[in-house]
Amino acid sequence: MAAVHVSPFSGTWYPAAPAELDRLLEERFEISRQRTGPYLLADGMGFVVPHAAPEYSGVVAASVYRSLRQQNPERIVLLAFPHRGGIHGVAVPDVRAVSTPLGTVRIDGFRSEPFPRIAERLVCDHSFEIQLPFLQKAAPNSRICPLYVGPMSEEQRRATAETLAAEWRAGTVFLASSDFTHYGRGFGYVPFPADDRIADRLRALDAECIEAAGSVDSGLFLEALAKIGATVCGSDPIALLLSTLSLIRPDGVFQSTLDYQTSGELTGDCHHSVSYAALGYFGRSSFDLAAPDGDELLTSAELTLQRLRNTGRRDPVRPRGGPALESRRGVFVSLHRNSELLGCMGHCEARTVLAEAVPELALVAALEDPRFRPGDAVAGPFEVEVSVLTPLRLIRGAAGFRLGQHGALLRLGLMGGLLLPQVARPDWTAVDFLEALARKSGLPKAAHQDPEARLSVFEAQVLRREKSRGKI
């Protein structure tokens, strides 16, 4: 085993001078904070992080490393791959440490040494080594365990995921190193014309790949990439990450898109562009708001509607909560009078921050729900219910739906609709829920079985007042 491998990316992909490299990384972290906001979800189980030079993908990568800085994990398992190929399955770089301008990173191993070793000088890939200065900056006390991941069969992936899942302990985080779409003649991938719509088409293409990764189903993810033909270079590390997380926490992991950008945006030329996505994987509880923040959202909606009733003015009252209310989340606001629905409006995508979305949606529910006459909701007593959603998770079909736990979004062609989990009636089955969802979507009742249908699930933190003090 080699004692210390000196990374050749120093002085080429990033500055060789320690102070200059440190300034560059800190700058990337600050730009990331400005782009995505100060709030970070807690307790990430795994992440997908890009691996271009810091000047290109560094800001997007920093959204992952800011999370790791907050989390301070004990151990990081880094799933990389050799761009030149040559590996099938998984191999461990045969090196004790890797040196960068910020110091030497000691390489940690596995307890049972389950994987073969390969000389780092033979693979020496930036998908691994470009991450090290970020790790030194964000998680200097973490033990780093790198793996090179190549193509493997479904059975091999399952067996490897079982090994990694058995290694998992609280304080362990998995990173999969990958860029997304490589577009342009230089990459041999031009699936659409090189015109003034490239940027929008790239975003749509990457969104489809990211949605597939959000299934936390490696088979579904790889099937989607094969169907699209997308050039996601780290698809094997991502697939292994998804398989591992699904074993550690079955049906309990949701993907959050932390940031996204293309090199074409940075250079002003999308004719030769690489896409960068930072994705985080979190358990259900990471998305729950603390009680004071939930109370502030309810108060904000109530005061907004009181002002509407008293003055007729559409004037949102912003909540005064903590930084979590500055996060972008899917959210719905429902208005009730006893068991009668008076209005319900929202969105499942992370369009705007909660502090802005909730009071505005309270007004929209009272005035713009087409099922009700505008203003009827605030003409008498009403109760406010706020549903804060997890991200969507694409599933294969009804077998992945859990009645009473999941809400669902159904899309088929240009039609689509959503039902919140709490609308399920006591006598419903899962099929009843999905048929009701199809009716709401204007689709045949068995639409979820259509091969072209896209069915996604989510969970919701439902905020409401106690009945004794909930009416306004």
Q: What is the pLDDT of residues 296-343, one digit of tens each?
A: 999 999 999 999 999 999 999 999 989 999 999 999 999 999 889 999
Sheet holding 95-100, edge to edge: 2-6, 95-100, 103-106
Alpha helices by DSSP H, listed for 17-153, are 18-36, 54-71, 120-123, 126-129, 131-138
Per-residue confidence (pLDDT) for residue 154, from 0 to 100: 95
Residues 196-204: what's their mean pLDDT?
Answer: 93
Residue 148, strand partner residues: 80, 91
Q: In sequence order, which residues have a C-beta less than 8 Å from that of residue 267 and are 6 or more positions away?
A: 273
Per-residue confidence (pLDDT) for residue 468, from 0 to 100: 39
Q: pLDDT (tens digit, 9 = 90+) per residue, 404-452?
A: 999 999 999 999 999 999 999 999 999 999 999 999 999 999 999 999 9
Residues 138-160: what's their mean pLDDT?
Answer: 96
Whether the per-residue pLDDT at 470 is higher than 60: the answer is: no
Per-residue confidence (pLDDT) for residue 251, from 0 to 100: 74
Per-residue confidence (pLDDT) for residue 110, from 0 to 100: 78
Whether the per-residue pLDDT at 246 is higher than 80: the answer is: yes
Q: What is the CATH number of domain 291-389?
A: 3.30.700.20
Please state whether the predicted TM-score (pTM) of the whole model is above 0.85. yes
Cα–Cα distance, 360 to 317 (Å, whole number):
9
pLDDT band at 151 (very low <50, low <70, confident <90, very high): very high
Please state the φ and ψ torsions of residue 340, each to the nearest 5 degrees: -90, 130
Measured at the CA of 210, the angle between CA 50 and CA 88, to 5 degrees, comes to: 60
What is the amino acid identity at position 433? F
Per-residue confidence (pLDDT) for residue 123, from 0 to 100: 84
Q: pLDDT (tens digit, 9 = 90+) per residue, 365-388?
A: 999 999 999 999 999 999 999 999
Q: In sequence order, which residues have a C-beta less than 8 Å from that of residue 447 and are 6 or more positions away?
A: 410, 412, 438, 441, 453
Length of the chain equals 472
Cα–Cα distance, 221 to 43 (Å, whole number):
24
Segments making up each domain of the chain, as ranges? 2-287, 291-389, 393-460
- 2-287 belongs to which homologous superfamily? LigB-like (3.40.830.10)
pLDDT band at 471 (very low <50, low <70, confident <90, very high): low
Burial class for 158, CB neighbours closer than 10 Å (0-12, 13-18, 19+): middle
Whether the per-residue pLDDT at 129 is higher than 60: the answer is: yes
Whether the per-residue pLDDT at 469 is higher than 60: the answer is: no
Cα–Cα distance, 55 to 173 (Å, whole number):
25
Cα–Cα distance, 22 to 29 (Å, whole number):
11
pLDDT band at 467 (very low <50, low <70, confident <90, very high): low
Share of the chain above pLDDT 90, in %: 88
Round the average pLDDT of the chain to a whole number and report it. 94
Domain range 393-460, CATH class? alpha beta
Cα–Cα distance, 356 to 316 (Å, whole number):
8
Instruction: Write out the two tokens for 353.
Output: 């921050």
State how far the alpha carbon of 58 is from the alpha carbons of 51, 79, 234, 322, 376, in Å.
8, 18, 17, 28, 51
Residues 178-204: what's their mean pLDDT?
Answer: 93
Residues 54-64: what's their mean pLDDT?
Answer: 97
Instruction: Write out the two tokens for 270.
Output: 């999308």
Per-residue confidence (pLDDT) for residue 2, from 0 to 100: 58
Whether the per-residue pLDDT at 472 is higher than 70: the answer is: no
